[in-house]
Amino acid sequence: MTNLPKTILPLEKEVEAAVQGQRELASLLSTKFETQRIDIFDKEDKPHRLVLPTSALRLLVDILGELALGNAVKVVPVHAELTSQEAADLLNVSRPHLVKMLEEGAIPFTKTGRHRRVRFSDLMAFKQRRDEQSQEAMEALVQQAQELGMGYDG
């Protein structure tokens, strides 16, 4: 089980910094190097050089992109086990609805005593399938509307 931190939306200054930071960092990461050296300044304005994986900095670009949109961000390891409430929150559904989906077999889960646990990777695989099905349904509706001459031009 993982304890997800409380969700806090970014402040206006943080959003502005994220917009600028994402743009600048993304432009610097078109590289074949596996690591990057960056300088971080402490409270006395003294620089400290760090070596970080380029892949981690690319994740930071994604995080900054979400913050730039004013969204809160949580980092969850793919092997993490979530409570049913945490899983429901990530899918933006009620906990009873999630439990129903679990019991119907839509998402794999384990039970520890009376408590259900959902692996983050299983939850994200379900979400991806659900999103793909939603996209296919939307495309089918557009196709049908075009065939019926309802004014939807692809």
CATH top-level class for 81-147?
mainly alpha
Give one word for 45, left, alpha or beta, with left for phi > 0 and alpha for psi -120 to 50.
left
Token couple for 67: 């913050």
User: Which pLDDT tens digit goes with each residue over 66-105?
Assistant: 999 999 888 878 888 999 999 999 999 999 999 999 999 9
Query: Which three-class secondary structure state does DSSP give residue 47?
Result: strand
Distances (CA, A) of 3 to 22, 74, 82, 99, 128: 28, 11, 8, 19, 23
Q: Which DSSP string corresponds to the chain?
A: ---PPPP-PPPHHHHHHHHHHHHHHHHH-----SEEEEEEE-TT--EEEEEEEHHHHHHHHHHHHHHHTT-------TT-EEEHHHHHHHHTS-HHHHHHHHHTTSS--EEETTEEEEEHHHHHHHHHHHHHHHHHHHHHHHHHHHHTT-S---
pTM: 0.59
- Residue stretches of the chain with pLDDT short of 50: 1
- Give the start-to-end residue ranges of the domains of the chain: 12-68, 81-147
Residue type, 61: V
Residue 149 is predicted with a pLDDT of: 84
Residue 115 is predicted with a pLDDT of: 94
Question: What distance in Å separates the CA atoms of residue 82 and residue 88, rounded to the nearest whole number?
Answer: 9
